[in-house]
């Protein structure tokens, strides 16, 4: 598991251990018990934190072969209760966009914890945001000829003209190109742009409800929530698309990492994940609970998915995209998206009161 440990630097591991120490003390469990559970050595010589204990005994913080994953999540304060639908990371900043709100449908954070509202030029239903080539690009499901906006810094936003008023559900960047997909339109449910400013509609082979698109291993791959067993399409250039066979679940999100495409769904019985090494041939994977999985993201050796249904268990993680473990969540908000940046996973929600962001605080 040492490759998973590499995501988190020494400082974050130390912070996590101190957090665990505080949790242990609050519940009158001894440091020795915690130390034993983590499989670490050292002799407790007094009233110390676990980090102090190890340092005092010259015991290195060696986490080789120990699973280090985000196991405990906490909510973060959000300045307004908009329907925060997507979040991304780029250029040292987390940026989230919303489907509701008045002139305030973007918020940003340098650390995923403290968030600031930003002015948006129009109150479109912003469905997606990504970062590429020095630019944040967002796409929307409402508006007239203006369903894209861009920003070089996540703060100041400019509306861009879009060729058709489809419901643009997702956008990604890869190989020098922004690619967006839609769940409405007739034979034109993709559009591309080399710069995020000038957009061109592309022909799509079937009018499925395309919900998510990503880029990996030289290929754009999109998944759909409707259709028969044809809910994946691929393209090497974002222009010419080919339908691929997939189980007819409502596939909501797709990502690429660790040499694997991974998609999650909000329907299905014990099979709400599918994986593919090439985007073409797909294999269904067992999921521990049938939550409404809304987003999946890969960061530093780990896949993390969040859900909009379930009771206290709206996160699941996997080191390989195949075997998944459910994680406890602090509140049952409608978690809509998750991303990774600067060593941290950040999830956003469309419900909740002043707590529509969550981040992990313990890595065990």
If you average pLDDT over residues 123-146, what whole number do you get? 98
Nearest partner of 360 among 352, 343, 351, judged by Cα: 343
**139 and 27 together in one domain:** no
Q: Is pLDDT at 45 greater than 60 in this prediction?
A: no
Determine the 3-state secondary structure of 33 from DSSP. helix
Which residues make Cβ contacts (< 8 Å) with residue 121, sequence separation at least 6? 149, 157, 158, 159
| 60-117 pLDDT, tens digit each | 444 443 334 566 899 999 999 999 999 999 999 999 999 999 999 999 999 999 999 9
Q: Running DSSP on this structure, what letter comes out for residue 343? A: T
Q: Distances in Å between the alpha carbon of 153 and those of 94, 95, 110, 339? A: 10, 9, 11, 18
| Helix extents (H) in the chain | 2-5, 10-26, 31-38, 50-56
- Sign of CA pseudo-dihedral 244, 234, 141, 331: positive
**42 and 117 together in one domain:** no
Looking at residue 363, what is its pLDDT? 52
Residue 64 lies in a domain: no
Residue 299 lies in a domain: yes
Which residues make Cβ contacts (< 8 Å) with residue 306, sequence separation at least 6? 293, 294, 295, 314, 315, 335, 336, 337, 338, 347
| 253-268 pLDDT, tens digit each | 999 999 999 999 999 9
CB 54 within 8 A of CB 61: yes
Residue 274 lies in a domain: yes
Q: Say how many domains are in the chain.
A: 2
Q: Any idea of the CA torsion for 185, 162, 255, 13, to the nearest 10 degrees? A: -150
**pLDDT band with cut points at 50, 70 and 90 for residue 58:** very low
Report the alpha-carbon distance of residue 307 to residue 302 in Å, rounded. 17
**230 and 331 together in one domain:** yes
Residue 187 lies in a domain: yes
**224 and 311 together in one domain:** yes
Q: How large a percentage of the chain has pLDDT more than 70? A: 80
Looking at residue 300, what is its pLDDT? 84
Phi, psi (deg, nearest 5) at residue 127: -100, -20
Owning domain of residue 291: 71-363
Residue 34 lies in a domain: yes
Looking at residue 361, what is its pLDDT? 80
**146 and 250 together in one domain:** yes
Residue 154, Ramachandran bin (φ over 0: left; ψ between -120 and 50: alpha; else beta): left
Q: Is pLDDT at 358 greater than 70 in this prediction?
A: yes
| 151-179 pLDDT, tens digit each | 999 999 999 999 999 999 999 999 999 99
Looking at residue 18, what is its pLDDT? 54
């Amino acid at each position: 598991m040492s490759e998973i440990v590499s995501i988190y630097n020494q400082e974050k591991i130390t912070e996590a251990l101190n957090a665990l120490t505080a949790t242990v003390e609050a519940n009158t469990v001894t440091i020795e018990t915690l130390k034993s559970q983590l499989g670490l050595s050292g002799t407790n010589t007094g009233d110390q934190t676990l980090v102090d204990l190890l340092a005092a005994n010259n015991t290195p913080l060696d986490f080789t072969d120990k699973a280090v994953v985000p196991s405990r999540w906490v909510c973060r304060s959000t300045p307004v209760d908009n329907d925060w639908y997507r979040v991304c990371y780029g250029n040292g900043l987390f940026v989230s966009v919303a489907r509701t709100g008045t002139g305030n449908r973007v918020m940003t954070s340098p650390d995923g914890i403290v968030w600031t509202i930003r002015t948006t030029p129009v109150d479109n239903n912003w469905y997606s945001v990504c970062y590429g080539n020095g630019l944040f690009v967002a796409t929307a499901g409402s508006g007239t000829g203006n369903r894209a906006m861009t920003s070089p810094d996540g703060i100041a936003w400019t509306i861009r003209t879009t060729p058709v008023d489809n419901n643009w559900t997702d956008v990604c960047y890869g190989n020098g190109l922004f690619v967006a997909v839609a769940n409405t339109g007739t034979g034109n449910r993709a559009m591309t742009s080399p710069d995020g400013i000038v957009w061109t509609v592309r022909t799509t082979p079937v009018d499925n409800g395309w919900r998510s698109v990503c880029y990996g291993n030289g290929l754009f791959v999109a998944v759909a929530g409707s259709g028969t067993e044809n809910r994946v399409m691929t393209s090497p250039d974002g222009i010419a698309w080919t339908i691929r066979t997939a189980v007819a679940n409502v596939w909501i999100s797709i990502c690429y990492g660790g040499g694997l495409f991974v998609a999650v769904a909000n329907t299905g019985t014990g099979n709400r994940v599918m994986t593919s090494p090439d985007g073409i041939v797909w294999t269904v994977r067992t999921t521990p609970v049938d939550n409404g999985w809304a987003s999946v993201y890969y960061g530093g050796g780990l896949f993390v998915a969040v859900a909009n249904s379930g009771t206290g268990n709206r996160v699941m993680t996997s080191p390989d995209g195949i075997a998944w473990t459910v994680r406890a969540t602090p509140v049952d908000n409608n978690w809509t998206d998750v991303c990774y940046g600067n060593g941290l996973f950040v999830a956003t929600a469309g419900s909740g009161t002043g707590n529509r962001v969550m981040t992990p605080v313990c890595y065990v």
